[in-house]
Amino acid sequence: MTQFLDLRLQPVGGGLASTASIRQGTSISDYTGMGLSDLLSAIRGRHVLLVSHGFNVNRADGIACLSNWESLLQLPQFSAFLGLLWPGDSIWAHGLDYPDEPRIADEAGALLAGFLNANFQCAASLSFASHSLGARVVLATIAHLSLPVRRLTLMAPAIDDNCLTTEFQAAEAKVGSVSVLASKKDEVLSAAFPLGNFFAGILAQGHPWWRAALGHGGPAQPWPANFRPPFELPDDWKFEHGDYLRIDKPPAPDLLLPVDVPPQGSPPLSGNGWQEAFSSAFASTRFQ
Q: What is the CATH number of the domain that holds 121?
A: 3.40.50
Q: Which residue has the higher pLDDT, 260 or 97?
A: 260
In the chain, which ranges are E strands? 2-8, 16-25, 32-33, 47-52, 79-85, 125-131, 149-155, 175-181
In this prediction, residue 212 carries a pLDDT of 78
Is the confidence at residue 96, as pLDDT, over 70? no
Contact in structure between 270 and 242 (CB atoms under 8 Å): no
| Mean of the per-residue pLDDT values of the chain | 89
Domain count for the chain, please give it.
1
- Residues ≥6 apart with Cβ < 8 Å to 273: 246, 248, 250, 251, 252, 253
- Residues ≥6 apart with Cβ < 8 Å to 278: 255, 259, 269
In this prediction, residue 195 carries a pLDDT of 43
Q: Tens of pLDDT along 6-23?
A: 999 999 988 999 999 999
Domain that holds residue 186: 2-287
In this prediction, residue 252 carries a pLDDT of 84
Is the confidence at residue 205, as pLDDT, over 70? no
In this prediction, residue 198 carries a pLDDT of 40
Q: Which residue has the higher pLDDT, 190 or 68?
A: 68
Q: Produce one character per residue of 90-123: b if its CB has 16 or more CB atoms within 10 Å, e if not.
A: beeeeeebbbebbebbbbbbebbbbbbeeebeeb
Assign 250 a pLDDT band (cuts: 50, 70, 90).
confident
